[in-house]
Structure 1
Amino acid sequence: MVDPEETFYTEERWQNWLTRVEEEELDPENEDSARLLLNLQDDAAIAVAKIVSAYEDDTLDEERALDELEQIREIVLSEPSLEDEEKLMLIDGVQTSLVCVFYAAEEYVNSGTVGDAPVDEYVLAAADAEAEDDLDAALGYLVQAGTHIIDGSELDMSVAEELEYGLVSEWVNGLDSLQSAMSDPEVVEDDE
Structure 2
Amino acid sequence: MKEEFYTRGRWQNWINKIKESGFTLQESDEDPSAAVFVYAMDDVVLACLKVIARCEHTTITKEEAIYAIDEIRDIVSERDDSLGEDANLMLESLNAALTAVFISSQRYIDGGYDRKTKLEDLVKKAVLAEEADRMEEALGVLSDIGARVIGGEALPEEVFEDLPYSLTAELLDGIDAISAAQIGDDSYKEDDGSEDDGDDS
Is the TM-score greater than 0.5? yes
Match of 1:48 in 2: 48
Match of 2:123 in 1: 123
Write the distance in 2 (CA, Å) between the matches of 1:52 and 1:112.
15
Decide whether the 8 Å contact of 1:69 with 1:106 is kept in 2. yes
Write the distance in 2 (CA, Å) between the matches of 1:179 and 1:119.
14
Measured at CA, do residues 151 and 113 of structure 1 come closer, stay the same or move farther in structure 2, by a change above 3 Å? farther
Write the distance in 2 (CA, Å) between the matches of 1:83 and 1:27.
10
* More displaced stretch, 123-132 vs 9-18: 123-132
Q: Deviations over 1:162-189 (max 9, x none)?
A: 21111001000000111222333469xx
1:93 is aligned to 2:81: no
Q: Deviations over 1:73-99 (max 9, x none)?
A: 100122234341111111011001111
Q: Supply the RMSD in Å over aligned alpha carbons.
A: 2.2
Measured at CA, do residues 113 and 63 of structure 1 come closer, stay the same or move farther in structure 2, by a change above 3 Å? same
After TM superposition, list the pairs within 5 Å mapping 1:52-91 onto structure 2: 52-91=52-91
Read off the aligned partner of 1:123 and give its amino acid letter.
Answer: V
Write the distance in 2 (CA, Å) between the matches of 1:25 and 1:145.
35
Match of 1:138 in 2: 138
Measured at CA, do residues 80 and 160 of structure 1 come closer, stay the same or move farther in structure 2, by a change above 3 Å? farther
Decide whether the 8 Å contact of 2:45 with 2:181 is kept in 1. yes
Decide whether the 8 Å contact of 1:49 with 1:185 is kept in 2. no
Write the distance in 2 (CA, Å) between the matches of 1:146 and 1:64.
20
Measured at CA, do residues 141 and 39 of structure 1 come closer, stay the same or move farther in structure 2, by a change above 3 Å? same
1:26 is aligned to 2:6: no
Decide whether the 8 Å contact of 2:154 with 2:179 is kept in 1. yes
Q: Deviations over 1:33-61 (max 9, x none)?
A: 23211111111111111111221222221
Counterpart secondary structure, 1:26:
coil
Match of 2:196 in 1: none
Q: How many angstroms does 1:128 deviate by?
A: 1.6
- Per the normalisation by structure 2, the TM-score is 0.83
Read off the aligned partner of 1:103 and give its amino acid letter.
Answer: I
Aligned length: 186
The percent of aligned pairs where both chains have the same amino acid is 28
1:10 is aligned to 2:4: no
Match of 2:197 in 1: none
- Per the normalisation by structure 1, the TM-score is 0.86
Decide whether the 8 Å contact of 1:163 with 1:169 is kept in 2. yes
Q: How many angstroms does 1:123 deviate by?
A: 1.2
Write the distance in 1 (CA, Å) between the matches of 2:102 and 2:185.
16
Query: Which blocks of at least 5 consecutive residues in structure 2 are unaligned?
Result: 188-200
